[in-house]
Chain A
Amino acid sequence: MLPTQPIHRKKTIAAWFQDRLAWDSISQFLAHKTVPVHSGTIWYAFGGITLFLFVIQVVTGILLLVYYRPTPAEAYESVQFIMTRVAFGWLIRSIHIWSANLMILSAFVHMFSVAFLHAYRKPRELVWLSGIMLLALALGFGFSGYLLPWNTISFFATKVGTDMATFVPWMGSTLGRYLRGGDAVGGATLTRFFGFHVAVLPALTSLFLLFHLGLVQKFGISTPPWVEKRFRGAGTKSAQMPFFPDFFLHELMVWYGALALLGILAALFPFGLGEKADAFAPAPAGIRPEWYFLAPFYTLKLIPGHVAGIEGEVVGLLGFGLLAFWWAALPFWGQRPDGTVRSKLVTGGAVAFIAYLSTFSLLGYLR
């Protein structure tokens, strides 16, 4: 009698939850969910890595919120307090910053892998568009979070960044004032950047993330057209791997790998705090934005003051706007009306885009 009692209880608890959550539907869903197996399967991991790093961002961000104070008088000191007095505070902050950088890098890799694998094809246009929106939100997280430690570099980089916003045609001055909360970067800017960083952007990201993941679940994971063609030619179905447990375990391995990399970077290369921002001090030499804004930053430096009578910054921003629009519209120019992909055009465009981003980022870093 004795050994059967716990088993009986376990069954009872499981049944209790089953009655209320109907979780067998989830296990049935997972049992039938598959992932295509081909030479490019590894690239599917980057969506998961980006999600994993976002979760780390949320967790470490909440921990930092316990001590952070978003005022010019206290922001720098509170971050200093986190780094010197709070147990593992340095690690939490370092992980938060490194995972932010790795998340954006992983999001870029995910975006380009989707382009190269032509996973934006019908009916997944909205998956692509919501993904582009998520990347834009991630860049917004980076820009707003950069100011929060209120140190010299972040202060002046934000000044440059918000200055750029004022060159947006028609609405530049309004946009600049809205971002800064006034005519210059100051306490109002810090407060609203904090608000964007911990409330507005997380809310929008959660919505777009749910939409993005929901569509991925709805349509399943895309098989590249050349793999589909090969199996169609052979008259067989393309090779698939069960999502659970096979792909999930692979993904878990990759996540652990990302965690190891994050730990190494956070422990061996923790981010310093620099000098406290002083609005009246001259801007230090060599002010440059985070690496993911280097390419547009360097491009703007190369554009002459005036191009055909229009201010160089305005021309630059219009150019970036057109480039972003062109790239976001990939599902619409990357496939023909009959559903076949314009493979050479998309691959060529993606390679050119990568070449531009990497070259100009490198030049922006070196000069």
Chain B
Amino acid sequence: MKHALLLLLLAAAWLPAKDSCLECHSQMTGDLQAPATAFRNSVHLQHGFTCADCHGGDPNSDDPEASMSKAHGFAGVPLRTAIPKLCARCHSDPNFMRKYNPSERVDQAAEYATSVHGQHLAKGDAKVATCIDCHGVHDIRAARDALSPVYPLNLPKTCSQCHADAAHMAPYKIPTDQYANYLKSVHWEELSKRGDLSAPNCATCHGNHGAKPPAVASVAAVCGTCHVFEEQLFDKSPHQPVFAAMSTGACVVCHSNHAILKTSDQMLGGKDAVCAECHDADSAGGKIAAQAAGLIQNLQNRIVAADGILEQARTSGMEVSEAILRQTDARQNLVKARANVHAFAIEAVSQPVEAGLAIAAEDYRAGEAAMKEKYIRRMGLAISLTAIFVTIAGLWLIIRWLHRAEKESGVTS
């Protein structure tokens, strides 16, 4: 008897807790079935939560009247304006969240309250994004899940559902081309084509729960979270106080905001030069830009030339791997020179350019020497082959002479 009771207790512990909401809604159709289907993919279900944890009610009762009665705390569909608080009941409770993920942040609701979304919601605007607009409703997945709407690769699309919807955004009087512009950017290219999940998406610059456009004064700091070196140079440059005084968003002046294209040397000089938008060609700034462009272009050309002759030597079978490896240093100096443009001082650019030019020149000489060596080898081969073929011809003549002598001796004998 004792054993039977123990077995029953074990079985009860082993069996999943009853959830009449899921049981009934799974057997329904259409909109009434959809939440139950979606909830099966939810991270909440994986951790043992039930519908009742958000909606209230009694999941142990099979009677809909009882399970969805107000007496059992059934709240039905929560109001949009109440959602952040509903989620915060658990997600802002460190003691509760520690049970599931001790390193999980619990400041999302506080951050949300500071966001443009949160501020509008506090004023009663239910159109703005709440937790469920970004994370999903019933099929909420962990942010690291590749199918989550807030997974780095999916986040821009998620934000665009509102921000690219002109009708939805009309009351807020802000542009709706951010997503289209972002898709042209080097950041999206890094994220989508190279699969670099650390590449910036909307949340990287605007924040996630506390989403807000960066203030003009903090643009450089925001970009500097990744582009550290460029930010340091910019802060010491003559542009910094000027841009600050003009209340323009530092980096954005030259690089734009959402449509941040891959940089090129043409940004300094040439018809598409961004410097030319403010600086005349004859002005001091215009001259520095042109000079920096010339220096960088020169290094680029020398590196390409050295690469070319080294490749030619390599494909000719010459051993030039040391010089090819050294070209990496020349390229690093080119990268440094391009980054140093943000100091807007010619000395900052010329220093790495000169170092790079010295390396490229040494490598070019190595390539030239290899090609010269190749010519010498060919000449050596030609001379050696001539000597060998002359020797073979001599041997052949000796053999003929021997045969003739043998024949003659045979005839005379």
Contact = CB atoms under 8 A, between A and B. Distances in A.
A67 interface: no
Q: Which of A80, A84, A91, A269 has the most chain B CB atoms closer than 10 A to its own CB?
A: A84
Interface string B374-391: 000110110011001101
Interface stretch (A169-177, A252-260, A281-289, A294-302): A252-260
B399 A249 contact: yes
A83 interface: yes
B215 interface: no
Contact of B319 (A84, A250, A263): A84
Contact of B385 (A90, A264, A269): A264
Contact of A263 (B318, B322, B388): B388
A267 B381 contact: yes
A355 interface: no
Max count, chain A CB within 10 A of own CB: residue among B319, B380, B392: B319
A3 interface: no
B229 interface: no
A253 B378 contact: no
Interface in B384-405: 384-385, 388-389, 391-392, 395-396, 398-399, 402
Contacts of A249: 395, 398-399, 402
Interface in B304-335: 314, 317-319, 321-322
A270 B391 CA distance: 25
Nearest to A89: B319
A90 B320 CA distance: 12
B388 A268 contact: no
Interface in B195-253: none
Nearest to B378: A267
B321 to A, nearest CB: 7
Contacts of B378: 267
A269 B316 CA distance: 8
Contacts of B384: 263
Contacts of B385: 260, 263-264
Contacts of B391: 256
A273 B384 CA distance: 25
A220 interface: no
A246 interface: yes
Contacts of B317: 268-270, 272
Nearest to B388: A260
A40 interface: no
Contacts of B314: 272
Given A267-B378, A267-B380, A267-B381, A260 B321 contact: no
Contacts of A272: 314, 317, 319
Contacts of B388: 256, 259-260, 263
B367 to A, nearest CB: 13
Contacts of A80: 319, 321-322
Interface in A202-224: none
B402 A260 contact: no
B200 to A, nearest CB: 30
A252 B395 contact: yes
A321 interface: no
B402 A245 contact: yes
Nearest to B319: A83
B389 A260 contact: yes
Contacts of B381: 263-264, 267-268
Interface string A28-68: 00000000000000000000000000000000000000000
A84 B392 CA distance: 33
Given A245-B402, A272-B317, A273-B319, A253 B396 contact: yes
Nearest to B323: A84
A269 B314 CA distance: 11
A241 B166 CA distance: 101
A250 B403 CA distance: 12
A90 B380 contact: no
Given A253-B392, A267-B377, A267-B381, A84 B322 contact: yes
Contacts of A246: 399, 402
Interface string A340-366: 000000000000000000000000000
A154 B92 CA distance: 59
A105 to B, nearest CB: 20
A256 B395 contact: yes
Contacts of B392: 253, 256-257, 260
A241 to B, nearest CB: 10
A250 B389 contact: no
A246 B403 CA distance: 9
B355 to A, nearest CB: 24
Contacts of A91: 377
A256 B395 CA distance: 10
Contacts of A256: 388, 391-392, 395
Contacts of A267: 377-378, 380-381
A264 B378 CA distance: 9
A261 to B, nearest CB: 10
A246 B391 CA distance: 16
Contacts of A268: 317, 381
A273 B317 CA distance: 10
Nearest to B399: A249
A253 B380 CA distance: 21
A139 B356 CA distance: 48
A106 B398 CA distance: 26
A84 B381 CA distance: 19
Interface of B: 314, 317-319, 321-322, 377-378, 380-381, 384-385, 388-389, 391-392, 395-396, 398-399, 402
Given A246-B402, A272-B314, 6 more contacts: A246-B399, A253-B396, A256-B388, A259-B388, A268-B381, A272-B317
Of all A-B residue pairs in the complex, the 4 with the closest CB atoms, nearest first, are A270-B317, A267-B381, A83-B319, A260-B388
23 contacts: A83-B319, A84-B319, A90-B319, A245-B398, A245-B402, A249-B402, A250-B399, A253-B392, A253-B396, A257-B392, A260-B385, A263-B381, A264-B381, A264-B385, A267-B377, A267-B378, A267-B380, A268-B381, A269-B317, A270-B317, A272-B317, A272-B319, A273-B319
